[in-house]
Amino acid sequence: MLLITGLGNPGAQYARNRHNIGFMAVDEIHARHRFSPWSKKFQALISEGMIDGEKVLLFKPQTFMNLSGQAVGEAMRFFKLSASDLVVIYDELDLPPAKLRIKAGGSANGHNGIKSIDAHMQGLLGSRDYRRLRLGIGHPGAKELVHHYVLGDFAKADNEWLEVLFTALADNIAYLVKRDDNGLMNKVALALAGKTANQENKAAPTAKAAPKAQSHIRQARQHHTMAAKLPASGPMADMLAKLFGKKDS
Over residues 124-135, the pLDDT tens digits come to 899 899 999 999
Provide the CATH number for the domain around residue 6.
3.40.50.1470
- 226 domain-assigned: no
The one-letter code for the residue type at 231 is P
The reply to whether 105 falls in a domain is yes
User: What distance separates the 2 farthest-apart alpha carbons in the chain?
Assistant: 117
pLDDT at 74: 96
Q: What percent of the chain has pLDDT over 90?
A: 74
With beta carbons less than 8 A apart as the criterion, state whether 100 and 165 touch. Answer: yes
Residue 243 located in a structural domain:
no
Counting the structural domains of the chain, the total is 1
Which one of the listed residues 19, 30, 111, 120 is annotated catalytic?
19
For residue 90, give the DSSP letter: E
> What integer best gives the mean pLDDT of the chain?
86
Q: Looking at the predicted structure, is the pLDDT value of residue 230 above 60?
A: no
Q: Please indicate, yes or no, if residue 213 is contained in any of the structural domains.
A: no
Does the global pTM surpass 0.85? no
Q: Is residue 246 domain-resident?
A: no
Instruction: Answer yes or no: is 218 within a domain.
Output: no
Helix (H, G, I), strand (E, B) or coil at 150: helix
- The question of whether 19 is a catalytic residue gets the answer yes
Residue 117 is assigned to a structural domain of this protein: yes
Domain annotation covers residue 75: yes
Residue 131 domain boundaries: 2-202
For residue 100, give the amino acid letter.
L
